[in-house]
Structure 1
Amino acid sequence: MQWIALLACGFIAVQMAMIIFSGKSLCLNDGCGIAEKLTTVAPLYLNLSGFVYFLAVFCACRWFRTRPLPAFDWLRLLLLIGLAVEGVLVSYQVFVIHTLCSYCLIIFSCIVLLNILYGRQQLFLGIPLFLAVLAAFTILNFGPALLTLQNQTLASGTIAVKKCALPSKQLYFFFSSDCPHCKNVLKALENCNSCEFHFNPVDKIKSLSIPELEYSRTYNPALNRLILSLVKIQTIPVLLVQNPDGLTFIKGEESIISFISQACFREEPQLYLDSSLYNAP
């Protein structure tokens, strides 16, 4: 057990070093970036707390290895605390941001393995504790709270922007690289118009065939999937319109093309549009 705790300490130390010297964390997917953006504590301090935790587990293992167990098993409590905290973090990823952080899962695996190695009684205590945390998250609704972060996530999910002279509207287009309906909408946006279009793909792409685009240095497609999932939209293409009184989501190829034809390709955009074309979240 002590070597697993020590290995976890080393792994977290490498992660902290990367954050300090390169400003980027080690992760195999986009989940880490999303999780970091939705926390109030800096990633460095989160990793530092994990480092201290595994160091405490290592010291406890070394201490109790050569001494009789005390009346109160502090190591058992320490392992249960770690399992409970990881239950919260895993539940947050599954039920709230709908994406998994590969680095977080590695740390979670270390804590699970430590609890398994501590014996059958630890499993009898740990499994119900972990399941209770999962059950608590299934009955909670975090959507409205996360939607307050949409200004940040919209910008972070934009791969490119098409700007024309004096745009009158800012629109966000959610699409995928293999969607034929999305391609038809993209083709309709090739010419300049009176709207500023932000392109937010739900998958990784390198570039678009539309001319005169201003590309972002980085973007995160998982954030776009998160936005759509929070407003219960499961199909694409989707056009997001920012209005003074809120947001409007326009779904479907025909509705989107009809909307932009009226709002973006006329010298004086119409003030009154067919309300059947769009849906509020």
Structure 2
Amino acid sequence: MKASLFIALLASLLTAFQALLILLRGSGICLNEGRRIVDSLTSVPPLAFNVMGFLFFQAIFWGLLLERKNPGVPLKAVKVLALAGMASEGVLVAFQIFITEAFCSYCLIVFSLIIILNITLGLKQIASSVAVFAVVLLAFSSLQLKSAESAEGISLDRGTYGIRSAGQSRGPQLHLFFSSTCPHCENIIEVLKNRKTCTVRFQPIDEIRSLDFP
């Protein structure tokens, strides 16, 4: 029970901190660019995800505290919530596998905390959570979904922000997928400024207000 309480509290603090960062600076923490890709392909704002995550872990935390005073019903409710968390993570993980084809490190950390939480709730909970996750993952994989790479009949021109033409030159045509907040993308754009012999199509993955490119 103590381990479950600790995990629920830790996850609550993590999601609250992430939500606070998004409020203050517009983006949260992530160890790779996977989060930006995932965020750009979902209609639910990252802030909403983290607020819901915070409320989810808080419900589990207080449910476990109530279990100490009134054993029985609170723990059953906590186990149901933990299974619901595994089902939700099944959808999110499947989305990253089959749609974005990129993993968000922050999402994986939250996923790991939910796994550990289910483990601390006993052997039956472990078996149930594995079954729920597997069913959701299999159901998602059975859908006829196409990733950005495998989609047919969809032109990349639809997402073009701007084009730098090479003029009369018959150089290569490049599609640059970039983020307005990615320093690596900025370095690539700086290099391309001097490559006058290639046509560049700029494909932003987030909202772009202006682009300084000759």
**Which band: TM-score by shorter chain?**
0.7 to 0.9
The structure-2 alpha-carbon separation of the partners of 1:21 and 1:149, relative to structure 1 and needing over 3 Å to count, comes to: farther
- Quick one: which amino acid aligns to residue 176 of structure 2? N
CA shift, 1:4, in A, is 1.0
> What is the percentage of aligned positions where both structures have the same residue?
31
Superposition pairs of residues 62-81 of structure 1, within 5 angstroms: 62-70=65-73, 73-81=76-84
Number of matched pairs? 189
Distance 1:47 1:19 in 2: 9
Whole-angstrom distance in 2 between the partners of 1:100 and 1:126 = 21
CA contact (8 A) 1:83 1:111 kept: yes
CA distance in structure 1 between the partners assigned to 2:115 and 2:78 by the alignment: 14
- 1:177 maps to none
Residue 162 of structure 1 contacts residue 197 of structure 1 at CA under 8 Å; is this kept in 2?
Answer: no
2:209 maps to none
Which of the residues 19, 26, 30 maps onto 1:27?
Answer: 30
Q: 1:87–1:134: 8 Å Cα contact kept in structure 2?
A: yes
Q: Which residue of 2 aligns with 1:235?
A: none
The question of whether the paired residues in 1 share the 8 Å contact of 2:160 and 2:202 is answered with no
Are 1:118 and 2:121 counterparts? yes
Q: Is the partner of 1:73 in helix, strand or coil?
A: helix
* Aligned twin of 2:41: 38
User: Which stretch has the larger CA shift, 77-86 or 24-33?
Assistant: 24-33
Deviations 1:149-183 (A, max 9, x none): 9567655xx9xx53356xxxxxxxxxxxxxxxxxx
Give the aligned partner of residue 137 of structure 2: 134
The AA in structure 2 aligned to 1:162 is R
Structure with greater contact order relative to length (CA < 8 Å, sep ≥ 6): 2
2:118–2:129 Cα contact (<8 Å) kept: yes
Which protein is bigger by CA-based radius of gyration?
A: 1
Could you tell me the TM-score, scaled by structure 1's length?
0.58
Q: Offset at 1:216?
A: 11
Q: Which has the higher strand share?
A: 1
Shift of 1:219: 6.2
Match of 1:18 among 18, 21, 39: 21
Q: 1:214 to 1:164 in 2, by over 3 A?
A: closer
**TM-score (structure 2 length as normaliser):** 0.74
CA contact (8 A) 2:38 2:96 kept: yes
Alignment partner, residue 104 of structure 2: 101
Q: CA deviation at 1:107?
A: 0.5
1:194-239, Cα deviation, whole Å (9 max, x unpaired): 899544279x67333643599999967xxxxxxxxxxxxxxxxxxx
1:162 to 161, 164, 170: 164
Unpaired runs of 5+ residues, structure 2, are 179-183, 206-214
Amino acid at match of 2:92: L
**Offset from partner CA, 1:63-115 (integer Å, 9 cap, x none):** 10222212981111011000100011001101221111101000000100000
Distance 1:64 1:91, change over 3 A: same
Query: 1:143 maps to what in 2?
Result: 146
Aligned counterparts of 1:128 and 1:149: Cα–Cα separation in 2: 39
User: How big is the alpha-carbon RMSD for the aligned residues of Structure 1 and Structure 2?
Assistant: 3.5
Q: Which residue of 2 aligns with 1:2?
A: 5
Instruction: State the distance in 1 between where 2:51 and 2:104 align.
Output: 18
The equivalent residue for 1:200 is 176
